[in-house]
Structure 1
Amino acid sequence: MAKTTQVEYRVYEGAAELSRAAAEHFLESIQAAVAARGRARVAISGGSTPKRTFELLANASERYEKEMPWDKIELFFVDERTVPPTDKDSNYRMTKETLLEHVPLKPEQVHRMEGELNPEEAAARYESTIRNQFKLEGAETPVFDVLALGMGDDAHTASLFPHTEAIHELAKIVTANHVPQKDTWRITLTWPVINAARDVFFLIGGKDKTEPLHMVLLGEYDVETYPSQLIQPKSGKLLMLLDKDAAAKLPAVGADGVGRLEVTR
């Protein structure tokens, strides 16, 4: 049965404006979650644009650092490379250096993927962590309050890469995914878990994203080639924060910088 997703995309001039828009959205969405449920369970992704956003959130001269309810946040990761937490490629290391070392998040509020372990073991341990934190039973799916995604120039998101096994994983919360094209393994949340989140948003910038983003939203449905097409939140709403380069092949936005699409698949 076809599902329709209301996609709202907001387009910004460049990297600085895009990062600030993401910081604003993080603050507003986390504040709303805390107001509604007393805490915010947040899952984040790595990458250069999130890095700039985290730097803004941690900057003592910005309002985000002061207004964020840090004591009410449980922080999780969408995916991780199979490297130690001190490695330069670690999503955790980037987050630690740009955000965690500068804000009042206690260690017990931060739940990292253990990329230094065997991938299958790391995935199983992270699934157990999530089940314990969310107090899940049986086949229950965790519902994150805020979940931030990026997209690669190959249209992958999280560590759901084209033509890899994780695209077909329906039962697990977290899976180890072999990525032959990068000759590596990744640990990732599965797409049903991502789609269950209350607020799912993409943060995408750069000319190398123009064509893949166009295909993800307006091209033929082919999740093997364009895994980001798997992201169809249960809420029926998907937000995309884009720079003008990434959005270049999408329908023009209005005077308010916002565009809207109905995507049915």
Structure 2
Amino acid sequence: MTKPEIHVADSPEALVHMVSEWLQRVTLEAIREHGCANLALSGGSTPKPLYQHLASKESLPWSSIRLYFVDERNVGPMDPDSNVRMIREALLNRLPVPPLSVFPWLTETDPRESLARYRQALAILPRSDGYPELDLAMQGMGGDGHTASVFPGSPQELSRDWVAAGPGPGTERLTLTLPLLAHARRVAFLVAGSDKATRVQECLSGESQLPAAWLTRHAREAHWFLDRASASAL
């Protein structure tokens, strides 16, 4: 629960390079410390260029990395709105990532089964206060202040489980919960665009009750990576 670190890049392109270098550094640090890095990746349009850049670098030992997914829509794996589809196309299909080191959400089924399967996948991780401990959770932030698939006023916002299911725009969502994400060794928000500037300022003010603000306050170590446009209200 320390003050978040704010990193500002001059452009969206510079932001991708900044986050890529930082992500590679903390991932290698985790591998040196305990032989494996446990990362959770987010979907959406903002991180896609980051994943494409990481795929082009090929500088990480992917056989020593486990990849989880912060959240997912309850749609098929080939659906255009699927987070796992985007991340596979941008990153995983272009790298020698062992399939058994990737943990996608089970979709198109009863959400209770999906949550039970993901609890099993998370149970192999070391624990922090009873929660599985990720080395890094990469987060986005929506225009309403949501992060992961935890929306303001949603049932997911109140969950103290490891995982939760609930409503989201367009379709049902499956998500890691805020308490689990807060127990990650590091949480990193990646935000770009002037349309997010006011909400970024609100979430970093220390008073907001929005999901992204809650996670920032309660994270063990929080980083916000912004371009000039999204940081313009700070």
Q: Same fold (TM over 0.5)?
A: yes
TM-score (norm 2): 0.94
8 Å contact kept, 2:186–2:219: no
Residue correspondence of structure 1 range 47-66 to structure 2 within 5 A? 47-59=44-56, 62=57, 65=58
One-letter amino acid of the counterpart of residue 246, structure 1? S
Question: Post-superposition shift, 1:234?
Answer: 4.6
Q: How many equivalent pairs are there?
A: 233
Larger radius of gyration: 1
- Does 2:84 match 1:92? yes
- Does 2:18 match 1:21? yes
Residue correspondence of structure 1 range 168-187 to structure 2 within 5 A? 168-170=158-160, 172-179=161-168, 182-187=169-174
8 Å contact kept, 1:15–1:49: no
- 2:37 aligns to what? 40
One-letter amino acid of the counterpart of residue 203, structure 2? V
One-letter amino acid of the counterpart of residue 54, structure 2? L
Identity of aligned residues (%): 36
8 Å contact kept, 2:203–2:213: yes
Distance 1:53 1:125 in 2: 28
- 2:3 aligns to what? 6
3-state secondary structure, aligned to 2:114: helix
8 Å contact kept, 2:125–2:132: yes
Question: Post-superposition shift, 1:230?
Answer: 1.6
3-state secondary structure, aligned to 2:167: strand
- Does 2:185 match 1:198? yes
Question: Post-superposition shift, 1:119?
Answer: 2.3
Q: Structure 1's 248 and 135: CA in aligned 2 closer, same or farther, altered over 3 A?
A: closer
8 Å contact kept, 2:133–2:183: yes
Distance 2:112 2:229 in 1: 37
8 Å contact kept, 1:58–1:98: yes
- 1:31 aligns to what? 28
Distance 1:234 1:162 in 2: 18
Distance 1:17 1:140 in 2: 38
Q: Deviations over 1:107-163 (max 9, x none)?
A: 1010001122222321222112211x2276xx8210001110000011100001011
8 Å contact kept, 1:13–1:243: yes
RMSD (Å), alpha carbons = 1.7
- 1:117 aligns to what? 109
Where does the alignment leave 5 or more consecutive residues of structure 1 unmatched? 251-265
3-state secondary structure, aligned to 2:117: helix
Q: Structure 1's 135 and 35: CA in aligned 2 closer, same or farther, altered over 3 A?
A: closer
Distance 2:219 2:18 in 1: 24
Distance 1:173 1:220 in 2: 25
Q: Deviations over 1:59-88 (max 9, x none)?
A: 1xx3xx1x2111100100000011111111
One-letter amino acid of the counterpart of residue 194, structure 1? L
Q: Deviations over 1:175-209 (max 9, x none)?
A: 10223xx2531000011100000111100001111
- 1:255 aligns to what? none
3-state secondary structure, aligned to 1:127: helix
8 Å contact kept, 1:194–1:233: no
8 Å contact kept, 2:126–2:133: no
8 Å contact kept, 2:190–2:224: yes
Q: Deviations over 1:224-252 (max 9, x none)?
A: xx2111213452x31110011111111xx
